[in-house]
Amino acid sequence: MLRLLLVVAMAAVTAKVYDDPAANQILLFKDKTSGPISIMTTSAGAPIEYKEATVTLNERLIFNEYFMDSMTHLVRERIPERLVHAKAGGAFGYFELTHDISDICKAKVFNGAGKKTPIAARFSPVVVERGGIDTSRDARGFALKFYTEEGNFDIVGFSTPMYVYKDPLLFPTFVRAQKRNPATNLIDPNMLWDFLTLRPESLHMFLLVFGDRGVPDGYRHMPGFGIHTFQVVNKHGDIHFIRFHFRPDAGIKNLRSREAMKLAASDPDYATRDLYRAIGNGDFPSWTASIQVLSEDDVKHAGFDVFDVTRVLPLDKYPLRPFGRFVLNKNPVNYFAEIEQLAFNPANLVPGILGGPDKVFEARRLAYRDAQYYRLGANFINIPVNCPFKNKAFAYNRDGQPPVKDNQKDIPNYYPNSFNGPAPYKEKGKVELVEVYQDQPDNYGQARELYENEMTPEERTRLVENILYSLGPATKFLQDRAVKMFARIHPDLSERIWQGLQVNRTSIPYYSSWDD
C-alpha cells in the first residue's frame, strides 16, 4: 500500500512538472526526439570519435580537436553585457491593427484594420546586472521591434510614462550614480541620492519607482510607454504628434516590498520564468495599444513642453485613442541568439514616423547604435533576430566582423554609381522633423499631482517607507537636501520622511514595517 501511494505521489509530482514548460524544457526536448539527433561534430563539421569526447588523460591535448574546439570557444562565450537593461525576458508574437490610423500616419504597419505584423519584445530592469534579480525596485525597459514591410520599427520604451532627465548630457551621470561605487564595488545610496537631489526633475519618475508601481508582478502585468512624443505624417503631408501607451489586458499588477524581497531569495528569475511558463502553456499575454494625439495647434497652445520626456501628457486633455493590440505567443528557442542579441535602436523608423524632436531621442539614436556596435559588431543587423525579414535590405555597407551573410554579393559598393546599384526613392512634399526649443525642466508640479491625486493614503505610506529604506543609509547632508526637495513636492511627504529619518533606524529594520 505504501509503495502504491509513493508511486501515485511521484506521478502527481511528474505531472505537475510537465505542466511547467519553464522548469521542464530539457525534458520536453527529450520527449520530442527519439535519440541523439546527430553524430557529434566539431564546429567545422568533422565527426568526433567517442574516445576524443570522453577522455584526455595520457593523450596529447593539442591533437584532440574536440578538446581544442570546445575549450577555446568556452573562454569566448560571453559578450559585453548591456550597461543598463542587462537582464531581460523576451518573446515573439504579432501586432494586430484594430483601428486604422492612416488619417494621421502613413506608415503601412498602422494602415488597414486587421493587419498583423510580427514583433519581438524585450522587458528588462534598468539597473541590475545580467545575473541579478527580476524583483528589484526599479523602472523597467519595455522594448518592441515591429518587423514591417517597410523595414524594422523599434519603440524603446519604459514601464513608466515618463523618463528621468530632460537633458541627455546627464545620461552617464545617471547610470554611474545607480551602479557600483568604483572603490567598494557596492551599490551606494549616497551616489543615487546625490543625483536625485541635484536633479529634482528625476523625482517625478522616482515617485513611481519608490511607490507601488516600482516592482511589477511579472512582465505580463506590466504596462509600457513610448515616453517620447513622436512626430508622424500622413500621405497628405499633415503633421501630428503621438505618445504610445501599452496596457496589459490581464491587468496591471505589482508586488509589495516584502513579497518582492522573498521572491528575490527564492526565485530571482521570477518575471522571466512567469513569462516563459505562460507562453509555453498557451496563456498568451497581450497588451492593448493606444496613442495620445496632438495637432500642431495643440503643441503650440499646450502651455508646456509636450516633448519633455520627464512629463506626462494629461489624459483628460489628450485622451487615449486605441489602435491595436499585440500578443506574445512564441518563446525563444535559444535565449542568447534571440533575446541577448536582440538589438533595439530608436533610429529604426519607417516612412510616416519621424521620431521625437527632443534631445533625449536624438542622443538615444547615437547611444543605442553605438552600444550594439560595441556588443555585437558592425554587422549586428545581419543577426537573424535583427534582420528586417519582411523586406530585403539593400545597404552599401560591406565587410567587417561577421555575420556578413552574402555581403550584398556583386552589387556595387559605393553610391552614387553608374552601374545600377540601389538608388534612393524620391518623396513628394517630404516632411522634416520639427525643431523645438526646450527650456529647463521643472516638474515639481507633476510630482505634486501624482502624490496628491493619484496615490491613495495607503500608497503614500508605502511610498514613504520605500524612500526611507533607500534614503536611510545615505549621509545626513543628502538626507537634509532630500527633505527640502520633497517639501517642494508636498509638505506632507517631506514631513513624513523627516519624521522617519529621526527614528534613526538602520537599513535592515526598514523591512520590518513593510506590508506582508
Q: What angle do CA 161, 166, 168 make, to 5 degrees?
A: 115
368 is in an annotated binding site: yes
Which SS3 state, helix, strand or coil, does residue 177 take?
A: helix
The answer to whether residues 459 and 211 touch, using CB atoms and an 8 Å cutoff, is yes
| CA pair distance 150, 109, nearest whole angstrom | 8
Q: 34: which 3 cell numbers? A: 527519439
Closest CA to 222 of 282, 178, 158: 158
Helix (H, G, I), strand (E, B) or coil at 503: coil
Separation between Cα atoms, residue 202 and residue 486, nearest integer Å: 12
Q: Residue ranges of the alpha helices (H) in 454-490?
A: 457-471, 476-489
3-state secondary structure 209-258: HHCHHHCECCHHHCCEECCCCEEEECCCCCEEEEEEEEEECCCCCECCHH
Nearest alpha-carbon partner for 177 in 202, 163, 160, 194 = 194
- Residue whose C-alpha cell reads 523576451 in the numeric block: 90
To the nearest 10°, report the CA torsion of 506, 512, 514, 516.
160
DSSP letter for 141, please: E
Write out the three cell numbers for 36: 541523439
The three-class DSSP label of residue 293 is: strand
Is residue 357 reached through a cis peptide bond, with omega within 30 degrees of 0 on the bond before it? Answer: no
The Cα–Cα gap between 35 and 44 comes to 23
Residue 55 C-alpha from the chain's centroid: 44
Cell of 189: 545610496
Contacts of 284 by beta carbon, 8 Å cutoff, 6+ apart? 93, 278, 327, 328, 329
Quick check: 225 and 246 in contact, CB under 8 A? yes
Binding-site positions for heme read 368
Binding-site positions read 368
